[in-house]
Copies of this chain bind each other. A is one copy, B any other.
Amino acid sequence: MRLHIFIPLDNRPYYMVNNTRNVHTPSIRRLTRYLRFLRAAKTRGVTVVSCSRIAESFNLSPVLVRRDLSFAGVLAAPKQGYRVNELIEDIEQSLGWDHKTHALLVGAGNLGSAIVKYNGFREQGLNIAGIFDSDPNLHGTLINGHKVFSFEKIVEYVKGLKSEYGISPDVGIITVPADSAQEVADKLIEVGVRAIWNYAPARLSLPENIVCESVSLCESFAILTHQLQMQDSGATFKGHEFEFSLDPNSTIC
């Protein structure tokens, strides 16, 4: 069934937000954590769980968990808690983890190898459909059972994938150095991926319709060092009282 509905955006009812699955990023991040928790609970034989229990184990407010779950499309839950099995399925579905996601990985260095070897991704539906590198020394070597191919042959390889297996990869994973990232991205889009998962510390210019998610380890490192910096500096926070050092040349007083 397919509907066209016209609603004033500013006064959109709650369930509509649900139905359009307009989930925001912080919610998605948390949903993956709930999923991990729920899968562990399932193996322990737990069949029903309350949002307070989930919230507790992540130091979150129960309301936030409820909201996240409702964003994920978990409606009509019984009033004595959520059923673990259903919840797992609903979250998986809302994340797009209920079906295979075929990906091409370019850059067979340590980072690329780590991604290929990590079983966690496979459990979330990631299928590495091809690995490529420009280094001839790597061509033909195996990573977790997958052969590494020449990056130059990617077009032809993907044609083969489509004709022989009916697979057209949706995701391109970039684990090459920053200076070749754009070039790789362009080629990946050329062979038809709709999304780029970028591990290179580079800003990519991509067509509007291409989804891009970047993992920036440097940004993460910055958050870490900045927090250490905060601890080191005299700046302390006690109620309303500040204690801090001033540069002697400072004009602020």
Chain B residues contacting A110 (CB-CB under 8 Å) are: 110-111, 113-114, 117
A225 cross-chain contacts in B, Cβ below 8 A: 95-97, 101, 124-125
Known: A228-B96, A231-B211. A241 touches B195 (CB 8 A): no
Which of B29, B96, B246 sits near A19, CB closer than 8 Å?
B246
Q: Which residues of B contact A229 (CB under 8 A)?
A: 21, 94-96
Contact A21 B194 (CB under 8 A): no
Please measure, in the bound complex, the distance between the C-alpha atom of A197 and the C-alpha atom of B95, giving whole angstroms. Answer: 26
Instruction: Please classify the interface of chain A as helix (H, G, I), strand (E, B), loop, or mixed, using the class held by over half of its residues.
Output: mixed
Of the listed stretches A8-16, A82-90, A129-137, A147-155, chain B binds: A8-16
Residues from chain B with Cβ under 8 Å of A101 in the complex: 225, 228
Cα distance A166–B158 in the bound complex, in angstroms:
55
Q: Which 10 A-B pairs have CB atoms at the shortest separation, nearest pair first? A: A110-B114, A96-B225, A96-B229, A111-B114, A213-B224, A29-B219, A110-B113, A211-B227, A32-B222, A110-B110
Which residues from B are CB-within-8-Å of A244? 2-3, 5, 19-20
